[in-house]
Structure 1
Amino acid sequence: MIKTELVTLLKESLLNEELITAELYFILKQDQVTLLRFIDIEGETQEDLTKQFIEKVKSELIEDDSLDLISISNADDRNKVLYEYDLDEVPEEIKLINTILKDEDIPSFDFRTDELAQIKGIIVLMSNNNHNLLLYKKHYPVSLIRKDNTFTFKRIGDHKRFVSVEEDIVRINTNFEFLMIDDSLIIKELATLEKFFGFHEIIKKKAQECIIAIEQSGLLEDADVLKELIDEISYSRKLTKVLNSSPVLNKIPTPSVIAFTNIYPALKGQFQYNADNSKIVLSTKKSKHLFAKLLNDDFLQSELTKMFYDSLAKDNIPETVTS
């Protein structure tokens, strides 16, 4: 999917927005079991929430032209980007998103059996115009105001008197980290995915697969040295990108790759080689990082100025034929 296709889907899902009602669900953790609970919300409050979530989608996704959309297997260090999830393994908690669309008998949150302290996430569902738009919010402990020995006050109507709030209070804002539109899972906050959902372990598995592919290519004297950096999430992402879409690995002959490392300014003198110069030897951390960038074809030269560049983001430009 490209960004314009995503925007089109979102616009279609929000057509006649006055007819949309947002349904909210809590994700609870009870005795190591993850559960879904429907949130029964008073009508006027639900209308206000719906309007605010719609405006959030519009402002942060539809109207933000600066956002790119790339696959998560091609993730790099860009800031203004959305990621379409294209890996086989999906974190368990995120799989619950699909449950909402399949199960019509999700029980309601019940204060007799459920606790606000058990909330781990919130899902917002807006179904409209034959599209299902789901927003996922990570719930943080600071969003729960617990009743303790301090006092939280609220007013009574328009009068001058305050009364103490005697219950726990949960706060919900309109920020969200992931969304699902129909069958496409889009990651808005990659850091949240990496920190709370075991995504690093998924990426590490892909990075390990990449190291095996590099070893089989015969490009390195010893590919195992790359394992020393596999716990670095940014490096594992680079290897995942190599595995998914490297224009170099197993596509450019090894002699040509080695020759390039000897003439490109940023690479010259950074690598060592075996006795007959047929394989690259990575002996420093810097060389390992440069090698990952080499396989991702990050080192470019301008056709116009002949200047050399280290390019993080490379979007393909389609060739056009003009008459």
Structure 2
Amino acid sequence: MTTLGELEQLKQRLEQATIKRAHLYFILKEKRTASIPFTVYKTVHSPALSTAFFDMFKLSLDELIRHQVNIEPYDINMDSNESPQYIPLENVTHAPLINQPIINDATTEIFEYVDDDTIKKMWAYAVKVTFDDEHIIYYRKYSSGKILRPGIFNAIAYNGGRFTHVEENIFQIPNDVDAFSFNNEIVVLQPMNFERIFGYEELYETASQNALQQIAATHNYVNMVDLSTFVGTDGRKKRKLAAILNNGLIPQMGFDQICTTIQLYNLDIQINQATQEFTLTAKNAFLFLKALNDDYLRSEITANRYEISSKRRT
């Protein structure tokens, strides 16, 4: 498990290294049906950009250390960015597809031709930071919206009191780091972006369908056609269903349990006591899923009741 002490040592090695460089890679997302969902391209860029990417990671690392927050094991129930998390690389299904072309990039294709199809597939970028005989890889979610293209955007540059028209593609690179590989683990700073980068959406698709099937087989308190429709393509609802399945809560959360939650927390879900059913709408479907995931808790000290966005079992 990655600790703050290890990150402080990493910072020292970065500062003391005699060889310091960083290299940018773009990650393109292929169609869902593709056998290999990601394609990684290396780039050719100036030494100044290498220094900038190196410093970008160091600043993010400094910020992480400064907050002195414990790094927790990765948990699907943690939705917020308040606490960094770690997950073994072997548990991230698509990590080898992204990392191997970066670590061993001798045969990795160079990113040199940008057309409409390429831009549509822009998914993320990664930077390999090398310091002496070590390296880390950091990742950032990306999209075609951050590319300014001549003829589509009227991009102009200002320099020395003069505006000029920009005739090349401009790639905006955010300063934030979503996650980074270190010590055979990935340290996660932005859980949602981390999951998108590494294709968790496909995993949640399967898990959500399994959860819906289990709800239908175990309970009859909601219209499953309606619930499936309201889940639809909503990634947040699919992730919540995956959490419900992971937590093994479906058999425990019967009509009485959810009914109590709805009443105690004044949830906007209509209850039919005669038929023992809940009436779901597009607006309250997520509230129902949160109730099913036991996301409404009472403080043992103050007796206050809370709707929580993240939780970790103690």
> One fold, TM greater than 0.5?
yes
1:297 corresponding residue in structure 2: 294
1:170–1:210 distance in 2 versus 1, CA, 3 Å: closer
Q: TM-score, normalised by structure 1?
A: 0.67
1:123 corresponding residue in structure 2: 126
Structure 2: tracts of 5 or more residues without a match: none
1:281 corresponding residue in structure 2: 277
Note if 1:43 corresponds to 2:47: yes
Q: Is the 8 A contact 2:75 2:312 kept in 1?
A: no
> Superposition pairs for residues 22-61 of structure 1, below 5 Å?
22-27=22-27, 35-59=39-63, 61=64
Q: Is the 8 A contact 2:77 2:243 kept in 1?
A: yes
Secondary structure in 1 matching 2:210: helix
The aligned amino acid for 2:185 is S
Return the alpha-carbon distance in structure 1 between the equivalents of residues 102 and 208 of structure 2: 32
Deviations 1:83-135 (A, max 9, x none): 6679978579x9323331244432445x5xx3487463432012458864212
Q: Is the 8 A contact 1:74 1:244 kept in 2?
A: no
Cα deviation for residue 10 of structure 1 reads: 3.7
Structure 1: tracts of 5 or more residues without a match: 318-323
2:211 corresponding residue in structure 1: 210
Q: Is the 8 A contact 2:259 2:271 kept in 1?
A: no
For residue 137 of structure 2, the aligned residue among 134, 151, 158 is 134
Q: Is the 8 A contact 2:178 2:188 kept in 1?
A: yes
Cα deviation for residue 315 of structure 1 reads: 3.4
Identify which range, 289-298 or 124-133, moves more after superposition.
Answer: 124-133
Return the alpha-carbon distance in structure 2 between the equivalents of residues 144 and 37 of structure 1: 19
Return the alpha-carbon distance in structure 1 between the equivalents of residues 220 and 86 of structure 2: 31
> Superposition pairs for residues 255-266 of structure 1, below 5 Å?
257=257, 260=260, 264=264, 266=266
Cα deviation for residue 201 of structure 1 reads: 5.0
The aligned amino acid for 1:292 is L
Return the alpha-carbon distance in structure 2 between the equivalents of residues 268 and 182 of structure 1: 46
After TM superposition, the runs of 4+ consecutive aligned structure 1 residues lying more than 6 A away are 85-89, 147-151, 160-166, 193-198
Return the alpha-carbon distance in structure 2 between the equivalents of residues 13 and 267 of structure 1: 47
Note if 1:106 corresponds to 2:102: no
Cα deviation for residue 230 of structure 1 reads: 1.0
1:130–1:9 distance in 2 versus 1, CA, 3 Å: farther
Percent identity over the alignment is 21
1:321 corresponding residue in structure 2: none
Q: Which has the larger radius of gyration?
A: 1
Q: Is the 8 A contact 2:139 2:178 kept in 1?
A: yes
Identify which range, 214-223 or 200-209, moves more after superposition.
Answer: 214-223
The aligned amino acid for 2:51 is E
Cα deviation for residue 57 of structure 1 reads: 3.0
Return the alpha-carbon distance in structure 1 between the equivalents of residues 303 and 162 of structure 2: 74
Q: Is the 8 A contact 1:127 1:133 kept in 2?
A: yes
Q: Is the 8 A contact 2:57 2:177 kept in 1?
A: no
Q: Is the 8 A contact 1:210 1:243 kept in 2?
A: yes
Q: TM-score, normalised by structure 2?
A: 0.68
Return the alpha-carbon distance in structure 2 between the equivalents of residues 211 and 35 of structure 1: 32
1:173–1:195 distance in 2 versus 1, CA, 3 Å: closer
The aligned amino acid for 1:179 is F
Cα deviation for residue 239 of structure 1 reads: 1.4
Report how many aligned residue pairs link the two structures. 298
1:314–1:130 distance in 2 versus 1, CA, 3 Å: farther
Secondary structure in 1 matching 2:12: coil
1:320 corresponding residue in structure 2: none
Q: Is the 8 A contact 1:13 1:129 kept in 2?
A: no
1:220–1:180 distance in 2 versus 1, CA, 3 Å: farther
For residue 243 of structure 2, the aligned residue among 241, 244, 248 is 241
The aligned amino acid for 2:216 is E
1:303–1:133 distance in 2 versus 1, CA, 3 Å: same
The aligned amino acid for 2:24 is L
Return the alpha-carbon distance in structure 1 between the equivalents of residues 300 and 163 of structure 2: 71
Return the alpha-carbon distance in structure 1 between the equivalents of residues 167 and 309 of structure 2: 53
Return the alpha-carbon distance in structure 2 between the equivalents of residues 75 and 136 of structure 1: 20
1:222–1:103 distance in 2 versus 1, CA, 3 Å: same
1:293–1:154 distance in 2 versus 1, CA, 3 Å: closer
Secondary structure in 1 matching 2:76: helix
